[in-house]
Amino acid sequence: MSQPSTAVPRSRDPRIDAFRGLALIMIFIDHVPGNPYERFTIRNIGFSDAAEAFFVMSGVAAGLAYSARFLPQNVAQKGLWHGVAPVWNRAWVLYLVQIFLTAWAIAIYSGGAQLFDVPALLTQINLRQVYENTQAALIGIPVLTHQLGYVNILPAYMVLLALTPFAIMVGLRRPWILAAASVLLWFCAGLWRWNLPNFPNPGGWFFNPLAWQLVFVCGLLTGLSLGRKERFIPKSRLLFGLCLGFLILVFAWRHVPGVGPYLNHQMARLGAAGAPFHLVSHDKTFLALPRLLHCLALVYVLSCSLWVFRATASGPGAPLRLLGRNGLLVFAAGTLLALVFNVILKATGGAMPYPVLLPPLGILVMLAVAWISESASAKKQRIAYALSPM
């Protein structure tokens, strides 16, 4: 008679939790404009920012969390719905959080306008439609076509998560077909300006899921490989050198006098010669090629560096890992804090000491929220982290 097996939790990669936590901090800081800490976020060293890191880490986490449910033996034993249900349930949770954050964004800015007598707040973060075209805005908000500033990253993530079961099924069998299809969709979206519609505003989503799916899929394929104890892109000294060289070039592009204007001029000449705009610009909505390459090069260099693994696994990295393990709750708390702090800064004209004190206070609150959430968790199991990188 077979003995019952004891489930042993899979070791977590500390880099995933730590970098997700770091991305959440940077998103929060960037969402409180005018503070002195902005100069230290990732967007100041290159073209990409914490949003790309958020999507990459989300893809990695999805690949690790859900891929085993879609393995042929598990599908045969438990059915396909066993794999699809938790993914779509997570997407539904994201939708509820999006509506919750949107409602509170309206309340916070409305309250700030009334409390501080700053009516200009009612025209910011895309709120004008809510007050001047209320009927249409109240249609757009629940169907996700009307998104407010600082509360517009989850809809794209939700759409991508809803499609994740299909991506996993392809990625487990033909990963390079999934990668090629993702690149093709990204290219076509930029070439023909495909996007999901806004309503009642013109245009499309700020985070266009047809373009941003590429960084998510790159993360997903990485997660699928990590689940097999492999690397999707093997370590290579040549590739590491190319990626590191590109990161150095981009840093010079941003900060060395004369380099940026010259290279931007060359890109403008390529655009005038007929090159698609998303190959020769820095557009965020369509995830332009320079942003995409910077993100992927940074991910590869960090993933190949042993010191990065040791740093994220160390004691000082514990707060970042704590934030990353409670990502959605921390993101929601950080978003609400950023909205409140923005109202305070607008009401005070950004007077000192608010820009200096508010961001660190917000980070402390985010850490407290993560600690309370984890302490109150019913699981109460010790987190096991991997001892060596892949």
Give the model confidence (pLDDT) of 221-241 as tens digits.
999 999 998 999 999 999 999
Residues in the chain predicted with pLDDT less than 70, given as ranges, are 1-10, 378-382
The per-residue pLDDT for 9 is 53
Cα 88 from chain centre: 18
The per-residue pLDDT for 258 is 94
Residues 183, 191: Cα–Cα separation, whole Å: 12
Q: Which residues of 209-243 are buried (b: 16+ CB within 10 A; e: fewer)?
A: bbbbbbbbbbbbbbbbbbbeeeebeeeeeeebeeb
Residue closest to 130 by CA, chosen among 120, 115, 140:
140
At residue 224, the 3 state secondary structure works out as helix
The per-residue pLDDT for 11 is 79
Beta strands per DSSP E along the chain: none
The per-residue pLDDT for 12 is 86
Give the model confidence (pLDDT) of 367-383 as tens digits.
999 999 998 875 556 67
Tokens 């590429």 found at: 214
Domain boundaries, the chain: 14-235+313-375
Spatial CB neighbours of 297, under 8 Å, sequence gap ≥ 6: 242, 243, 244, 246, 247
